[in-house]
């Protein structure tokens, strides 16, 4: 089994067990909505932050790039944007729980291109 598969499997088990910060809650989006959110992250966020989230017009969205920011701060940036920058608000498209789900996904370093 490839190492990447083992790592993702282990992360999935830990998340299900509630052992990781930001582990799934009862408010997590359903499978269809998660797929839509991943698409939004790859295509909309990726258009500025890079398809591999390593940066571009926008800052990198890699786990190490986000480590010094709280979930609340990142969720707020997603929902309300950053005035004076190209970062738009997404509150009309997603709710707070979905924004937090995206933060959790990014903190896990999930590869969106796979």
pTM above 0.85, yes or no: no
Q: Has residue 12 been placed in a domain?
A: no
Q: Has residue 97 been placed in a domain?
A: yes
Q: Has residue 18 been placed in a domain?
A: no
Paired tokens of 108: 């896990």
Q: Which domain holds residue 75?
A: 32-107
Q: Has residue 14 been placed in a domain?
A: no
Residue 7: C-alpha distances to residues 28, 63, 75, 85, 110 (Å)? 22, 15, 26, 35, 10
In this structure, the dihedral spanned by the alpha carbons of residues 92, 98, 101 and 107, taken in order and rounded to 10 degrees, is 0
Q: Is 84 left (phi over 0), alpha (psi -120 to 50) or beta?
A: left
Q: Has residue 72 been placed in a domain?
A: yes
Q: Has residue 23 been placed in a domain?
A: no
Q: Has residue 40 been placed in a domain?
A: yes
**pLDDT tens digits for range 33-77:** 999 999 999 999 999 999 899 999 999 999 999 999 999 999 999
Q: How many domains does the chain have?
A: 1
């Amino acid at each position: 089994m490839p190492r990447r598969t083992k790592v993702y499997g282990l992360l999935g088990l830990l998340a299900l067990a509630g052992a990781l910060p930001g582990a799934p809650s009862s408010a997590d989006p359903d499978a269809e909505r998660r797929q839509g959110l991943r698409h939004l992250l790859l295509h909309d966020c990726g258009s500025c932050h890079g398809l591999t989230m390593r940066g571009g017009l926008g800052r990198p969205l890699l786990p190490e790039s986000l480590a010094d920011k709280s979930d609340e701060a990142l969720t707020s940036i997603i929902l309300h944007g950053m005035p004076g920058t190209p970062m738009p608000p997404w509150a009309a498209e997603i709710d707070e729980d979905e924004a937090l789900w995206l933060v959790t996904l990014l903190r896990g370093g999930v590869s969106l291109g796979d």
